[in-house]
Amino acid sequence: MLKFLLVGCVCLFPVWGHAKPQAQILKPQKITQAQRESICFQLKISCSSDATWQLYQVPNHPQRHYVIAKLKLFELEKNAQNYQLRNDWDFSNYQPLTQHPHWTVDGAVTVEDSLDEQGHFVRADALHLYPVLFPINDTDYSIALIQRWDEMYSGGGMREEVADFLQLNPQSKYQQVFQNIPFSVSRMIRACFSEQDYAQSNGNCHDQETLLLNIEYLQANTWRMKYHYIRTLSPSSDQQPVNQRKTYLLNANKADAIQFPSAWTEY
């Protein structure tokens, strides 16, 4: 059975099975300046000092590599010290039309800065690719295209990520397999507002919220999504703690496939 765990900052821990395909957790690679320049020339990507693209190796496949350059994904094969392009996918024009945050604001937002209904500043960051290949069937994989929302307010803040999963097909083609999937959440909310609150809390003056996700690949186009939501409180908080789990079977491409209990998202 294949399992991997997403914990707040989205760390993954695989448990390898015997028959089912494995998640490919891409490993960052160091390269020489000559290799870097060769890759830049071949892929037509920037080689400037502030370029943020990264070369990755596929576990247990020393010749197979990927480059993630913003919203572009390149598959390479290493021969001796050279890298040859095998396939590429450009998601620059992909529109995550159904993606929306579940915690940060009520309803969908654009990638521009905005204010939520409580007047908190909200930023929906540009999309990015997550460096893991998720199995869709015995031979094909998908990649998560993620949008992140940041909410900032006095004495606290929040980060939430939502993913669309896109199957990687030959000849630079791709197709959406799952959409609007909650990916990670981390929130800190100020709970102390007076000297008495500070004294009572002994410095523990924030409520903390985290969403944990464990994904199991079951069979073609079917995942089991196990969510664990935790809310720990400051002694000065007027909220209710939460420590609950909920499991979803993900086997259809529906924007509302994941519906959390209201107690998780209301504050």
DSSP string computed for 161-228? EEEEEEEE-STT-EEEEEEEEEEEEEEEEE---SHHHHHHHTT--EEEEEEEEEEEEEETTEEEEEEE
Task: From 254, 188, 191, select the one nearest 221 (Cα to Cα).
Answer: 254
The partner residues of 87 in beta bridges, in order of sequence, read 75
Is the C-alpha dihedral spanning 59, 137, 163, 261 positive or negative? negative
Using DSSP's 3-state secondary structure scheme, residue 24 falls into strand
Residue 237: half-sphere exposure toward Cβ, Cα within 13 Å: 20
Please list, in sequence order, all residues whose beta carbon lies within 8 angstroms of the beta carbon of residue 245, skipping any fewer than 6 positions away: 226, 227, 228, 229
Task: From 211, 199, 104, 202, select the one nearest 156 (Cα to Cα).
Answer: 104
d(CA 65, CA 85): 9
Cβ atoms of 37 and 47 closer than 8 Å: yes
For 103-173, where are the E strands, in sequence order?
Answer: 114-115, 121-124, 128-135, 141-153, 156-168
pLDDT at 124: 52
pLDDT at 125: 56
With residue 58 as reference, give the H or E element that holds it.
Answer: strand 54-58
pLDDT at 214: 83
Task: From 129, 131, 128, select the one nearest 29 (Cα to Cα).
Answer: 131
pLDDT at 103: 84
Q: What is the pLDDT along the chain (267 residues), one digit of tens a residue?
A: 444 444 444 444 444 445 688 889 999 999 999 999 999 999 999 999 889 999 999 998 999 999 999 999 999 999 888 899 999 999 999 999 999 888 875 444 444 445 544 454 445 557 999 999 999 999 999 999 999 998 887 788 889 999 999 999 999 999 999 999 999 999 998 888 888 888 888 888 998 999 988 888 999 999 999 999 999 999 998 888 999 999 999 999 999 999 999 889 887
Please give the span between the terminal C-alpha atoms of the chain, in angstroms, as a whole number.
36
pLDDT at 19: 64
pLDDT at 216: 87
Going from N- to C-terminal start, the domains of the chain cover 31-90, 114-265
Amino acid identity at 141: Y
